[in-house]
Amino acid sequence: MNLLVKNIRIIDPLQNIDEVTNLYVSQKKIAAIGTPPPAKFNAETTIDGTGKLLFPGLVDLQARLAEPGSYYKGSIATETKAAVAGGITTICCPPDTNPVNDCQAVTELIKRRARQAATAFVLPIGAITQGLEGKLLANMVSLKKAGCIALSQANQPIQNSLILKNAMAYAACNNITVMLRCEDQQLKNDGVAHSGAVSSHLGLAEISSSAETVALARDLILVAETGVKAHFSLISTAKSVEMIGEAKKQGLPITCDVAIAQLHLTEYDVMEFNSLFNTTPPLRSKDDKEALRIGLKTGVIDAIVSDHTPLNRDDKLLPFGESKPGISSLETLLSLALKLVEEGVLDLLSAIQKLTQNPAKIIGINKGSLTIGNPADFCIYNPDHDWVLDRTKLVSAGDNSAFDGWQFTGKVEATYFQGRLVYGD
């Protein structure tokens, strides 16, 4: 199908494009921007994009798709539909599935279910250790050959430093990216909320910032020693931003991301014991939130992720300390990122870069841009569409959104995946 989207403001950070022009799609690929393609082009479908914006399909480095397994609610079919409703066309799913994605068979199952859903591009992340137990290394080379774009421990970081060092050295020898979530379990000490005034007032078990930064310090030393390409997932503290910034200046081969919730929420949102605000890492202080925003602006933080975790309603009806951590956030990732633009934290091109070009570069894929010849993955965004989030109406099977009742200016109107309309509002 030949598609023409005309008179629309196209934003593509990779090509430094920000202009009102036309987009041409032919044979499921980007055929041209601005000037019609050299070959004769007859548009079968024409869309007038006057007053609207067109972004490359977003690349989300961390989103759970609830399959295989029973830990989370939904399936690859339901959660990829939620993703494209938020303009996301490429999704990396962490290995904490059931069974754990620590072998070729599970990786191939995820890829097969994604092909059956045919809604978005799903990239599995393999486990560093068998069963995510932090003891025996998984077959990293086999996982890479099966299609895993990186290896991680999800939210179960390796505590044994020797095992982690060996894993990094082996990954470095085989040119495998490791995604590291930094958390010292002894310092975490079964805590559930950020160590500060709010947790003290509410009597909730505390997680100090040092639970993250002590583990980060160790991991940075091991990265320097092994030379592994490392990506730090879900950083949440001001000190982490400072440490990663210094490590980058020293030339370490590292990148990092932050969950969108950490850029808008703080420990004070926990005041009502509302378990919808139970996340891992926990929501931090206002100072931490501001430091994360500055880290984004200065380029220390490379990408923004949804950290989508769809949960059953019963999991969030438990008391705060007993509830499962996680937020359903695929459908609000773009809108919340553009709120940062409204608030002057980022300019529009930079915000989209953190959601497209940068995450694609981190995992080494040819996505997140509108380069001619690339698959036609993009979304059309209406900046004048005001709406209020009703979590009971989310496309995701998990309605555990912490942003219920928030008002947004602008909404995804349509998403195209490989030239096909996969979402239309």
* pLDDT greater than 90 at residue 48: yes
Whether residues 96 and 194 fall in one domain: yes
Whether residues 274 and 405 fall in one domain: no
**pLDDT at 72 (0 to 100):** 85
Whether residues 155 and 178 fall in one domain: yes
Average pLDDT over residues 224-248: 98
Q: Which of 307, 315, 377, 399 is catalytic?
A: 307
Whether residues 153 and 236 fall in one domain: yes
In a domain, 139, yes or no: yes
**HEC letters along 323-376:** CCCCECCHHHHHHHHHHHHHCCCCCHHHHHHCCCHHHHHHHCCCCCCCCCCCEC
Range of the domain at 12: 3-55+374-424
Whether residues 407 and 326 fall in one domain: no
Whether residues 343 and 392 fall in one domain: no
In a domain, 108, yes or no: yes
Backbone angles phi, psi at 232, to 5 degrees: -95, 120
Whether residues 236 and 121 fall in one domain: yes
- Render the burial of 300-309: b for 16+ CB within 10 Å, e for the rest: bbbbbbbbbb
CA separation for the pair 224, 408 (Å, rounded): 43
**Which of 342, 363, 384 is the last residue before a domain boundary?**
363
Provide, rounded to the nearest whole percent, the portion of the chain with pLDDT above 90. Answer: 96
Average pLDDT over residues 98-109: 97
Whether residues 182 and 303 fall in one domain: yes
In a domain, 417, yes or no: yes
Predicted confidence band of residue 40 (pLDDT cuts 50, 70, 90) = confident
Largest Cα span, the chain: 69
**pLDDT at 69 (0 to 100):** 86
CA distances, 163 to each of 102, 201, 254 (Å): 16, 39, 20
**Which of 363, 394, 409 is the last residue before a domain boundary?**
363
pLDDT digits (tens, 9 = 90+) for 343-387: 999 999 999 999 999 999 999 999 999 999 999 999 999 999 999
In a domain, 213, yes or no: yes
pLDDT digits (tens, 9 = 90+) for 256-274: 999 999 999 999 999 999 9
In a domain, 368, yes or no: no
The number of folded domains in the chain is 2
Whether residues 395 and 327 fall in one domain: no
Whether 269 is catalytic is no
Whether residues 208 and 278 fall in one domain: yes
Average pLDDT over residues 9-30: 97
29-38, 166-175, 216-225, 241-250: which range is least confident on average? 29-38
In a domain, 74, yes or no: yes
Whether residues 141 and 268 fall in one domain: yes
CATH of residue 382's domain is 2.30.40.10
In a domain, 369, yes or no: no
Average pLDDT over residues 46-62: 98
Whether residues 262 and 138 fall in one domain: yes
pLDDT digits (tens, 9 = 90+) for 391-402: 999 999 999 999
CATH of residue 342's domain is 3.20.20.140
**Which of 344, 363, 382 is the last residue before a domain boundary?**
363
Provide, rounded to the nearest whole percent, the portion of the chain with pLDDT above 70. Answer: 100
In a domain, 141, yes or no: yes
For residues 88 and 359, the answer to whether their CB atoms sit within 8 Å is: no
